[in-house]
A and B are shown apart, each in its own frame.
Chain A
């Protein structure tokens, strides 16, 4: 019985295993068949390449090399609104070396130095650039050869295998420093740039926008890279182009800046520290934006020398600093019209409300001084003759809450949205702000100071320009616009204001504007000298912003004070009145009186813009 059992179990096992083996073999067969098919596919592919396309490929390779070269796109140009060329691409010539074709690098360099001066630091930089680059790549030894150097080389190049003069397009700013802060500049691409840029598109490019419009519109200006498949012989010369896909040029930009107006503004500042912003009140286009002193952006394009750069950095006048968006100044008296409007609109004051100004105000044992004793003063007179006492009292009556919210509507305390980087937001103080930053309450004395635009308050020239443009339009607040047209598109649709300040009563705006007109054209206006002989009327407000406090009893003696401690001169204005088209904000640092130093600049700007003088 046991014997039969054993046979029975082994019989059962045998059948099972047989089936498994058969199944396994079937599957293995399938895999093997698949492998055979795939091998056939592979062979077919290789035969296709090696037999069918053999002619094609072998001509490409026989003693020649096929290279795929990137083709850099030409950068878009930048024009002003009056059609002047502000940024262009011109030919630069570099002296390059291809390491793999140079026999003895040291000898070659020594030989080159007999014909042209090459500084040791440049040789070091060249060696550093060589590292990590493929030996067939052309590395620049000397950028931007002069015409003479180029001529010398063209004649002698045959002595130096592996050395070549390579032409490239480089950026050039024909108007130099006048537009430096608006346009910015392009510089050599570095690691930081590569993190932001699409490296595939920049394979052939050496430069990218670093600052200004060149940077904010980098994508549009740069264009799209092209490719060329070229045949190169053993000497490295391109024999023919096999295939190419064209690079797409960057688009040209038209900015709203009026070039001649910009030049007038720069000349008016004449290298003094300061800033000017002019805005078109109809659409928010920035007509002029000058920061002075300035610098030549062309220096940065081919790589500025360390010495020059350090000189710019360390200059006490800070030419690299963009004052019109980053300079934060106490606005001083130019705020008075705004306070007036806020007071009228909130009912805290009526136009005929007046007080007697004795030349100072005392609050809690502190004396707040005025620059003159004005006597009987209403709002209009307070603006025209810039009475401080009137506004001290007004500030107390308005209170910090209303002052803050009222000014905020004009764009103070926040960035204007201009597309340049580095814009600061100024400082519009409030109770919450004071509590947050100083952990302290707001004091009445601080409101008083705020009433004449001193104290904690800070504003940039851009903010001031925008705010005065809003006054000019009766409450339409535009976002300042730098770029007006991109490429071939039509002029950008006229912009509607980003918001409108609740007008309150039109009569109030009229009142303020006519007071500002009297500042310029009235017999006692603080800017009357600038209005003399004008063929049109304009409205404005002077400001003299204090940098340090003068103790009571002391006189402000500009000559005695160190220059950097003197008051700033400010002036905001718009023209013509009625129906203004341009608004300006001007600040001249440490120049003393707004009416003497800043207002005449506004007159010059208006004369040029309105009358082409």
Chain B
């Protein structure tokens, strides 16, 4: 039997994170074993996905790039046209047996497509190659942003931009591109963003402007975080009623519960686990056998960091509220599967340990 291609270091870290997540969830859900059990099942499914994906060879991944990308675009269009609408947002496709968010797939397919695009080109790319890769990146990002799902759009954009950046494209071109993005931003604000999204940003800039609406969760979560102190209140000792969870936010503010119970010490341990994964990802990138591998691994590691940074940042009031889950801790299945798939890709890209001759 062929040996299972896996990165033991990543695997162990993921398991540790998953345990931390389940413990936090048990507390956050009001000591509900049912919730923890269901989440545990999702974690198992995600882990299996990770292991399966880890067996795919980098070459096969590269070959899948174009059809994965096309599939993503088709699904994104399908969502905008047929998607289930909840609260004015179209993100889900109901496929009878299960519901599914195409934007999750995009978090993988876009970096893969971009990495594949640059894989055999001479680097650094010239302007026309840069332009073409932007043409690959921009449509999915816009389609997601119009759903509207700003958080996911940002993550996809980050992944794509990291690939482009890592190819060594000249700084001049990068400034030019940033200029274009900045020019688009006000258009997006006025024409595309929904009121609730705007009010979140406004409340972030001026927290007292809407303390009962958009600002409410940030106020509450900061109180929870702050009250944890250095050592935390201890597991299960957080006062849950602080955070009057509304159903759609129960996943994103779970970090506040973690901080309250495990304190700054717990946060530092958690961050080191996350950072380990990220640095490991960069390590895999450095040792990857091909340009494709390097670019893709860098992108995936950075996206993972983006999840962590944005979620922790918004919970602690550093960033406006965007719907981004905390990997392996937040409740929910689809994002977890995608993140674990990404982890699987990282494992797949890892050059096999050289056998000493």
Contact check, A27 vs B227: say whether CB atoms are below 8 A apart: no
Q: Which residues of A contact B154 (CB under 8 A)?
A: none
Q: Mostly helix, strand, loop or mixed at chain B's interface?
A: helix
Q: Which residues of A contact B222 (CB under 8 A)?
A: 49, 57
Q: What 0/1 pattern do residues 16 to 43 of A give for CB contact below 8 A with B?
A: 1000110111111011100100110111
Is A47 an interface residue, CB under 8 A from the partner? yes
Contact check, B286 vs A70: say whether CB atoms are below 8 A apart: no
From the candidates B123, B216, B226, name the one contacting A50 in the complex (CB within 8 A): B226
**Residue of A at shortest CB range from B213?**
A200
A23 to B295, CA, bound (A): 12
Interface hit among A60-68, A146-154, A355-363: A60-68
Is B204 an interface residue, CB under 8 A from the partner? no
A27 to B223, CA, bound (A): 39
Contact check, B167 vs A27: say whether CB atoms are below 8 A apart: yes
**Given A31-B298, A35-B278, A41-B224 contact (CB < 8 Å):** no
A47 to B266, CA, bound (A): 12
| Chain A, range 458-512, C-beta contacts under 8 Å to B | none
Is A558 an interface residue, CB under 8 A from the partner? no
| Chain B, range 301-329, C-beta contacts under 8 Å to A | 302, 305, 309, 312-313, 316-318
Is A136 an interface residue, CB under 8 A from the partner? yes
Is A431 an interface residue, CB under 8 A from the partner? no
Q: How far is the CB of B141 from chain A (nearest CB, A)?
A: 19
A45 to B263, CA, bound (A): 13
A51 to B316, CA, bound (A): 13
Is A203 an interface residue, CB under 8 A from the partner? yes
Q: Which residues of A contact B41 (CB under 8 A)?
A: none
**Residue of B at shortest CB range from A228?**
B211
Is B58 an interface residue, CB under 8 A from the partner? no
Q: Which residues of A contact B275 (CB under 8 A)?
A: 39
Size category of the binding interface on chain B: 35 or more
Is B23 an interface residue, CB under 8 A from the partner? no
From the candidates A54, A68, A229, name the one contacting B230 in the complex (CB within 8 A): A54
Q: Which residues of A contact B224 (CB under 8 A)?
A: 61
Contact check, B298 vs A26: say whether CB atoms are below 8 A apart: no
Q: What 0/1 pattern do residues 207 to 242 of B give for CB contact below 8 A with A?
A: 010111100100110111111111000000001011
**Given A57-B227, A203-B212, A24-B166 contact (CB < 8 Å):** yes
Contact check, B168 vs A62: say whether CB atoms are below 8 A apart: no
Is A123 an interface residue, CB under 8 A from the partner? no
**Given A23-B124, A23-B168, A50-B259, A42-B318 contact (CB < 8 Å):** yes
| Chain A, range 198-212, C-beta contacts under 8 Å to B | 200, 203
From the candidates A39, A42, A53, A134, name the one contacting B226 in the complex (CB within 8 A): A53
A54 to B210, CA, bound (A): 24
Q: Which residues of A contact B165 (CB under 8 A)?
A: 27, 30-31
**Given A28-B166, A58-B227, A200-B210, A20-B264 contact (CB < 8 Å):** no
By CB atoms of chain B within 10 A, which of A43, A54, A56, A203 has the most? A54
Q: What 0/1 pattern do residues 168 to 179 of B give for CB contact below 8 A with A?
A: 100000000000
Is A227 an interface residue, CB under 8 A from the partner? yes
Using a CB–CB cutoff of 8 Å, the interface residues on chain A facing chain B are: 16, 20-21, 23-28, 30-32, 35, 38-39, 41-43, 45-47, 49-51, 53-54, 56-58, 60-63, 65-66, 68, 70, 134, 136, 200, 203, 227, 229, 245
Which are the 6 A-B pairs with shortest beta-carbon distances?
A57-B226, A23-B168, A61-B227, A58-B227, A49-B226, A50-B264
* Sample of 7 more A-B contacts, CB < 8 Å, known A24-B168, A28-B298: A39-B271, A45-B316, A58-B229, A63-B239, A65-B239, A70-B212, A227-B212
